[in-house]
Amino acid sequence: MSEVKAYYSETFKTGLYDIDVAGNPKPSRLTERMLLAANDHLDLLNWSWTHLYNDIGVALVLIEVSLKITGKMRLGETVKLTTWTSKKLYPMLMRWFVLENEAGERICEAMMNCVLIDVKTRTITNAAKYGLNLVDDDTPPMEVSIKRPRFVSGVDTGERAADFSFTKTVVCSDLDYNGHMNTARYVELSEDLLGRDWLMTHEISEVSVRYEKETGYGETVETLGYDFPSEDGRTGTVEIAGSADGINRFSARIAYRKN
């Protein structure tokens, strides 16, 4: 364990699903890439998801994700992804990510916040209780400007109608090993809510998602979005609320600029 560092890097080549219809980095795909890299690092730390779930009876559950997109990706380009974590945040486990293109320019900064859940009781627990420890050296390998988002429960819209709406029923391909809709799918929901025509004329600069309650197979999620443009209309934010059976499942905020 002394040779395992608190940060980890890997590379990947961008594929067709990494870039959206307007040629911009796709937030949902970036989220999937980061989750896979995080698990690769956790495997080195003896924290792999399958080990935690099968051998210890706990699971890392993602409760927040935030992305700040600052650059572009070319199809077939090699991208370097670096991620790191800190042992100082038990029981909330924060992880940071930086993606860089071949020129060393930043494509995206991101942060994810997890909690450790007892699988049987579905309650938050502490890693130290199970003897799970991270490495001693948790010095960040690089500086980031992204901050943890501040969410207000619900969207204060008054009586106005939603500007965007999208309904999705959870199917088998949405489920992860835990039997609930995978967290990256909620970012996809936000992209599907905005739609192709919107994405062709707007560029997403930031995405923040807070997961409020798990969604199971066969449940139908109603996702509503409310547009708050700037005075000049060149930038703005879309506040998003997703619910099923009258229960909030996730909240999201997307910052954008018009092309």
For residue 93, what are the domain limits? 7-130
Residue at 246 is within a domain:
yes
SS3 of 136-196: the string is CCCCCCCCCCCCCCCCCCCCCCCCCCCCEEEEEECCHHHECCCCEECHHHHHHHHHHHHHH
pLDDT at 26: 95
pLDDT at 135: 62
Residue at 152 is within a domain:
no
pLDDT at 208: 94
pLDDT at 257: 96
Residues whose CB falls within 8 Å of the CB of residue 224, separated by 6 or more in sequence, listed in order: 155, 162, 164, 165, 193, 240, 241, 242
| Structure tokens given for 158 | 């008054």
pLDDT at 1: 36
Domains: count for the chain: 2
| Residue numbers in the chain where pLDDT is lower than 70 | 1-4, 87-92, 133-138, 151-158
Closest of 147, 142, 227, 182 to residue 32, by C-alpha? 182
CATH classification at residue 64: 3.10.129.10
Residue at 147 is within a domain:
no
